């Protein structure tokens, strides 16, 4: 209820109360950020010159960069003079004069630094720099489904202290749902860094300020599924779909290289499996953070990650179940056994194995994390498809431990959503995967399987802009007859000249396996010639093996065609990366 002393008439109070009652928590949060953004910025915490503050970020998908920008905006409101810097553009020695330093860094995969931050990270870990005059704090982004959760942030936090910097606030480790943890950390560190004796203003809510669209992570857009087309031919061992979704009326925008976030729901059979394992009915009422009171079945379907199993979840389950067997599995000397257990198993399996008597409804909710959105590389150009966004998604289905498993988001799209029905989405900027600024610059694109998605967007965009730069696509999959994704479109682009060259590698059409990296080696001389002409080199797809193999093939191509030593070839490829001429979107 709005208090009577609020500066509104009775009629205005009634109207506001009616409006607020119908808003979701996400809409309330956005509205709070919007109203705070319209208010005049508070005065600096102390008279005189604003305090300089360096906000340093290392990012893979763009989340750390977005939080760095948000951090700078909030710091400016508190009277600081912030400077946002990318780890890719600094060396550790540059930190000696930082004074007040806030670090926001993600961990990529299972413990690696972001690709663009690798040089900075390695330098910081190995160089000797005197940081005695630096005050700092670290906000680490990660994913608890990985064993090395937030490792990069933890390493940097420890190393800064060893080099003499003074920690003003404890490191904050954030899971994939990071907004609230970041906001709490930011409020703490800005108070800690404020000049002594300064009267700190009230903190503004640390939420994203409104953009041209009111839709985003906290308030996804209900996008209509316009079309779904199976791209594989009958007889293929794969299930790859082309999806077309409407953005009409959303205000959402994107560029080739960006991603679309899909907010899925869990399939009914997944929910039923967890309920059965926990010995619950689903009609129990539970409290969900940010969503209020809900029926358990609804919460498991809409709000909670109920498949992916991690050490963090097992620890919480052990606290509830007190399983002797699970206790042994979580022991320090059982890391290999734990790793083996986690492979291919779901939350349902752990409940069955370690909590045979079941759990209370609220206890089950407390061991699970929020259901995260899934990011997919956008497969369309907004110039070619106004008010639409396209995706190329492989439905994940497999067998593990005698049971059929499936991907949450990929099968949500293929199995649960019909044409004409809504899908909650928002766009996600990826500044680390962009077409060259000049349309005259040649591009080389390596994209096996669904890694073809952003390159469909690249070529469509260049076709629409009339780009004159050469383009070369290297595509791979299992079989030419069944798995040549977008074959007719590539042939059309070759005919029009939008695509200059196409090389393919179908691994199972001959006795010996042939992959995209083999095509790179076979065409090393021409590839090196393109690079010497200034070409940008792009890779999209599987990170576990393909990206590494392509990277090795690229180094070998430069080594052989360029007449360089292995060390010189590595330096050449590293220079491409630093100049943003070698970009990867791998997962």
How far is the C-alpha of 183 from the C-alpha of 299, rounded, in Å?
Answer: 25
SS3 at position 572:
helix
Phi, psi of 217 (to 5 degrees): -60, -40
Both 52 and 183 in one domain: the answer is: yes
Asked whether residue 394 falls in the same domain as residue 455, the answer is no
Residues 144 and 110 reside in one and the same domain = yes
Strand partners, 167: 136
**Which residues does 414 contact at the CB level (< 8 Å), separation at least 6?**
228, 239, 241, 393, 395
Distance CA 448, CA 399 (A): 23
Tell me what pLDDT residue 210 has.
38
Among residues 349, 367, 385, which one ends one of the domains? 367
Cβ atoms of residues 174 and 204 within 8 Å: no
Average pLDDT of span 62-80: 94
Q: How many domains does the chain have?
A: 5
Q: What is the mean pLDDT of residues 14-41?
A: 52
Q: Of 173, 174, 179, which Cα lies nearest the Cα of 216?
A: 179
Rg over CA atoms, the chain: 26
- Do residue 342 and residue 459 come from a single domain? no
Please determine, for residue 26, whether its predicted confidence score (pLDDT) is greater than 60: no
| Residue 212 forms part of a structural domain | no
DSSP letter assigned to residue 416: I
pTM of the model: 0.86
Measured distance CA(429)–CA(211) in Å, rounded: 13
pLDDT 10s digits, 517-553 = 999 999 999 999 999 999 999 999 998 899 999 999 9
Q: What confidence category does residue 19 fall into, taking pLDDT thresholds of 50, 70 and 90?
A: low
Measured between alpha carbons, how far is 406 from 426 in angstroms, rounded to an integer?
A: 23
Task: With respect to residue 552, please indicate whether it lies within any of the assigned structural domains.
Answer: yes
**Per-residue model confidence (pLDDT) at position 206:** 41
240 inside domain: yes
| 489 and 479 co-located in one domain | yes
Residue 399 has a pLDDT of: 94
* Residue 434 forms part of a structural domain: no
Residues 15 and 49 in one domain: no
Cα–Cα distance, 352 to 331 (Å, whole number): 20
Which strand (E) or helix (H) includes residue 224? strand 221-230
Whole-Å CA distances, 40 to 37, 186, 194, 296? 8, 20, 20, 43
In which domain, by residue range, is 421 found? 221-264+373-428
Distance CA 59, CA 65 (A): 6
- pLDDT at 222 exceeding the cut of 80: yes
**What sign for the dihedral angle of Cα 216, 178, 306, 260?**
positive
Residues written for the chain? 587
Predicted pLDDT of residue 587: 87
The average pLDDT across 36-55 equals: 62
Residue 437 has pLDDT above 50, yes or no: yes
Name residues whose C-beta falls within 8 Å of residue 30's C-beta, 6 or more positions apart in sequence. Answer: 207, 210, 214, 216, 218, 219
Model confidence pLDDT, tens digit, residues 360-384: 999 999 999 999 999 999 999 999 9
Among 348, 367, 386, residue at a domain's last position: 367
- CATH number of the domain residue 255 falls in: 2.40.30.10
Of the ranges 105-114, 152-161, 367-376, which one carries the lowest mean pLDDT score? 105-114
- Considering the domain architecture, whether residues 456 and 568 belong to the same structural domain is answered as yes
**472: three-class secondary structure by DSSP:** strand
Q: Do 179 and 78 have their domain in common? A: yes
Domain presence at residue 210:
no
Q: At what angle do helices 453-465 and 487-496 cross, to 10 degrees?
A: 30
Question: Are 353 and 459 found together in one domain?
Answer: no
Q: How far apart are CA 148 and CA 162, in angstroms?
A: 21
Q: Would you say residue 515 has pLDDT above 50? A: yes
In this structure, the answer to whether residues 167 and 46 fall within a common structural domain is yes
Sign of CA dihedral 361, 362, 368, 370: positive
Percent of the chain predicted with pLDDT > 70? 89
d(Cα 245, Cα 243) in Å, to the nearest integer? 6
Residue 243 within a domain: yes
**pLDDT confidence band for 205 (50 / 70 / 90):** very low
| Helical (H) or strand (E) element with 527 | helix 524-532
CATH of the domain at 284: 1.20.990.10
**CA–CA separation, 279 and 284 (whole Å):** 12
What pLDDT shows up at residue 13? 55
The reply to whether 502 falls in a domain is yes
pLDDT of residue 294: 96
pLDDT of residue 571: 97
Residues 6+ apart with CB under 8 A from 36: 204, 205
Determine, yes or no, domain membership for 551: yes
Residue ending a domain, choose from 367, 394, 410:
367
Residue 374: predicted pLDDT: 96
What is the predicted pLDDT for the residue at 100?
A: 96
pLDDT of 278-325, one tens digit each?
999 999 999 998 889 999 999 999 999 999 999 999 999 999 999 999
Rounded distance between C-alpha atoms, residue 57 and residue 89, angstroms? 10
Residue whose C-alpha is closest to residue 347's, from 292, 403, 287: 403
439: Cα separation from own chain's centroid: 28
pLDDT at 53 over 50: yes
Say what the pLDDT of residue 389 is.
98
CATH number at residue 559: 3.40.50.80
106 and 2, same structural domain?
Answer: no
CA 333-109-83 angle, 5° bins: 120
Check whether residue 390 and residue 363 sit in a common domain.
Answer: no
| Of 149, 141, 216, the residue nearest 176 (C-alpha) | 141
pLDDT value of residue 177: 87
Distance from C-alpha of 135 to C-alpha of 97, rounded to nearest angstrom: 11
């Amino acid at each position: 209820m709005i208090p009577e002393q609020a500066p509104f008439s009775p009629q205005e109070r009634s109207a506001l109360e009616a409006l607020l009652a119908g808003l979701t928590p996400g809409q309330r949060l956005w509205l709070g950020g919007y109203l705070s953004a319209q208010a005049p910025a508070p005065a600096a915490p102390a008279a005189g010159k604003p305090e300089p503050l360096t906000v340093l970020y290392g990012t893979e998908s763009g989340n750390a960069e977005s939080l760095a920008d948000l951090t700078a905006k909030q710091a400016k409101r508190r009277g600081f003079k912030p400077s946002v810097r990318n780890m890719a553009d600094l060396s550790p020695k540059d930190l000696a004069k930082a004074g007040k330093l806030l670090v926001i860094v993600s961990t990529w995969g299972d413990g690696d630094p972001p690709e663009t931050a690798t040089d900075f990270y390695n330098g910081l870990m190995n160089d000797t720099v005197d940081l005695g005059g630096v005050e700092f704090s670290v906000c680490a982004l990660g994913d608890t489904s990985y064993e090395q959760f937030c490792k990069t942030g933890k390493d940097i936090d420890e190393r800064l202290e060893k080099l003499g910097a003074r920690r003003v606030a404890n490191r904050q480790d954030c899971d994939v749902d990071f907004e609230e943890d970041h906001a709490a950390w930011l409020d703490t560190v800005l108070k800690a860094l404020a000049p002594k004796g300064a009267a700190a203003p009230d903190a503004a809510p640390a939420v994203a300020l409104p953009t041209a669209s009111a839709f985003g992570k906290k308030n996804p857009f209900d996008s209509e599924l316009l079309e779904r087309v199976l791209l594989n031919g009958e007889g293929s061992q794969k299930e790859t779909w082309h999806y077309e979704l409407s953005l009409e009326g959303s205000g959402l925008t994107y560029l080739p290289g960006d991603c679309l976030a899909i907010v899925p729901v869990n399939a009914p059979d997944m929910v039923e499996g967890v309920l059965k394992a926990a010995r619950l009915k689903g009609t129990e009422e539970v409290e969900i953070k940010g969503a209020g009171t809900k029926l358990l079945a609804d919460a498991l379907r809409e709000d909670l990650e109920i498949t992916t199993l991690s050490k963090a979840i097992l620890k919480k389950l052990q606290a509830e179940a007190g399983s002797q067997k699970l206790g042994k599995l979580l022991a320090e000397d059982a890391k290999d056994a734990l790793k083996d257990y986690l492979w291919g198993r779901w939350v349902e399996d752990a409940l069955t194995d370690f909590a045979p008597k079941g759990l209370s409804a609220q206890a089950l909710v407390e061991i699970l994390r929020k259901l995260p959105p899934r990011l997919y590389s956008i497969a369309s150009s907004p110039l070619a498809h106004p008010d639409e966004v396209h995706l190329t998604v492989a439905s994940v289905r497999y067998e593990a431990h005698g049971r059929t498993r499936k991907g949450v988001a990929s099968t949500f799209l293929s199995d649960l959503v019909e044409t004409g029905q809504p899908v909650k989405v928002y766009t996600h900027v990826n500044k680390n995967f962009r077409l060259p600024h000049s349309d005259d610059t040649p591009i080389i694109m390596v994209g096996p399987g669904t890694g073809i998605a952003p390159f469909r967007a690249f070529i469509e965009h260049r076709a629409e802009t009339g780009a004159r730069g050469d383009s070369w696509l290297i595509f791979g999959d299992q079989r030419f007859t069944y798995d040549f994704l977008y074959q007719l479109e590539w042939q059309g682009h070759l005919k029009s000249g939008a695509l200059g060259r196409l090389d393919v590698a179908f691994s199972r059409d001959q006795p010996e396996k042939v992959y995209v990296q083999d095509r790179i080696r076979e065409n090393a001389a021409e590839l090196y010639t393109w690079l010497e002409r200034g070409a940008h080199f792009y890779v999209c797809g599987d990170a576990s093996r393909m990206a590494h193999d392509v990277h090795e093939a690229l180094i070998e191509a430069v080594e052989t065609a360029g007449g360089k030593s292995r060390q010189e070839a590595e330096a050449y490829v590293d220079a491409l990366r630093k100049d943003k001429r070698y970009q990867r979107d791998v997962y």
